[in-house]
Amino acid sequence: MFRSLRRALCAVAAALVLPLAGVGVQPADAAAEAAGAGYWHTSGRQILDAAGQPVRIAGINWFGFETGNYVPHGLWSRDYKSMIDQMRSLGYNTIRLPYSDDIFKSSTVPTSIDFSSGKNADLQGLNSLQVMDKLVAYAGQDGLKVILDRHRPDSGGQSALWYTSAVPESTWIANLKALAARYKGQDTVVGIDLHNEPHDPACWGCGDTATDWRLAAQRAGNAVLSVSPDLLIFVEGVQTFNGVSGWWGGNLMGVAQYPVQLSVANRVVYSAHDYATSVAQQPWFSDPSFPGNMPGVWDKYWGYIFKQNIAPVWVGEFGTTLASTTDQKWLAALVSYLRPTSTYGADSFSWTFWSWNPNSGDTGGILKDDWQTVDTVKDGYLASVKAPLFPGTGTGGGGGGGGGGGSTAACSASYTVSSDWGSGFNAEVKVTNTGTTAIGSWKVTWTWSGSQQVTNMWNASYTQTGSTVTAANAAHNGALAAGSSAAFGFGGTPGGGSVPTVSCTAS
């Protein structure tokens, strides 16, 4: 909601309780067979791929193009490919990339990219749009889709309306069309989020062309589709409808009476934003029935669109520091409301979590302040709503499917202790497809020499008998193209043990 706060460069790493038991374990999804290929369209409440298979967006926001850096944040610390690979290994299948219209100016120069030790070598000398090209291409190789988010008119800050005196509607639409043309034929980019978080005085259905966001979304959406008719058009809500207010961009109550109508059918996906008390207080948080009241709140503002089969709903932003019990209950309730993939598959709400970046001041991120370590508690809350990756377009750090050859499936695994505090430890295991053909699943086994026990595991399921542990892939990370990798992590007790020998089997 308060965009200036979420862009503050002072990350707060705070996670006080573990997620619900078992949330890190995902049963295999036998029905998922490389869904997601090609461009997408809608049918009722579902998003379908080019072959008509339902898909679920289960992704992450990586911000920075919309700020004065004019590129995603963290490139001052890491290579962009390593970060996209890490997103993939954690099971995020889509990246939402916020940008501002500043990136279209010839005078805009990207800043804060580290080129030392070979990092980001292929970004040297590029402008912002060319950097975006590189990120899109590599994400596609890794089996991730991209949603471009027109976040701000300029890097100075968020705007209530889709235009300002400095950036008129004509510029907004011209730049949307330019992006549609730039990525036409590259189905890694599946759609565009037209404008981030419209809020008062933006209205929905009031009929005033200067403030009616629904009418503006139709004008912009039709302009995009005139250039690239295969794209999805993501339309956020407003703040207030008929006197009822909520989060910026989170109020889609007007859709029931005033749906967005575009020139190409089956292209609209409605997008809501929802946040916890670390962003701002809302009356429902202090309701005596909280968190039991939350499904009704979400139904009223945006959930009804999905439940009544009007259109797909994508929660484009939601996040929290998890610093308070209220926030912890809110996130657990929201994840449950979004519907677990193991039960509902892609017949579910889509989502992109806010954010990958740790430097979002009132939410923090999936990464901690070092831009490397995963906040495993926060990531663990999301495990049940993650979904399979999509077919990759080449040989990046991943691939998500495909592959040829007839050789025997093979994999290797490496075990790394990331932290050890004596009474306990965290470790990560990286699994690599060492064969010449794609694999569909993997298992890793090791035997500790001491009395260690797994206490929780994410991005894999496990069994432990005595000192022997067997970990199997989750639904979203079993398919690995030749040469690509996935990772899972776990906590254990006690610490101080030696690193065991690990073996890997693939099929």
- Neighbouring residues of 61: CB distance < 8 A, sequence distance ≥ 6: 95, 96, 98, 149, 316, 317, 352, 353, 354, 355, 356, 357
Alpha-carbon distance of 299 to 115, in angstroms, equals 47
Cα dihedral 217, 218, 221, 227 in deg (nearest 10)? -150
Tokens 């980001």 belong to which residue? 120
- Which residues have C-beta within 8 Å of that of residue 275, sequence separation ≥ 6? 1, 247, 317, 318, 319, 320, 363
Dist CA 468 CA 447 (whole Å) = 4
- Catalytic residue selected from 66, 236, 317, 428: 317
User: What does R_g of the chain's alpha carbons equal in angstroms?
Assistant: 22
Q: Is the dihedral of CA 422, 470, 477, 19 positive or negative?
A: negative
Torsion of Cα atoms, 41 then 349 then 94 then 22, to 10°: -150
Residue 197 designated active-site: yes
In Å, how far from its chain's centre is CA 312? 16
Alpha carbon 507 to its chain centroid, in Å, reads 28
With 0-12 / 13-18 / 19 or more C-beta atoms within 10 angstroms meaning exposed / middle / buried, residue 219 is middle
DSSP string, 267-307: -EEEEEEEE-TTT---GGGGSTTTTTTHHHHHIIIIIHHHH
- 169 noted as active-site residue: no
Confirm if 157 and 103 have CB atoms less than 8 A apart. no
Helix (H) or strand (E) run with residue 501 in it: none
Q: Are 390 and 50 in contact (CB under 8 A)?
A: no
Catalytic residue among 66, 197, 236, 428: 197
Tokens of 139: 């994400």
> CB neighbours (10 Å) of residue 130?
12
Bond into 291 cis (ω within 30) = yes
CA 16 to chain centroid, in Å, comes to: 23
Tell me the H-state helices in 203-284.
Answer: 213-227
| Active site (catalytic) residues | 197, 317
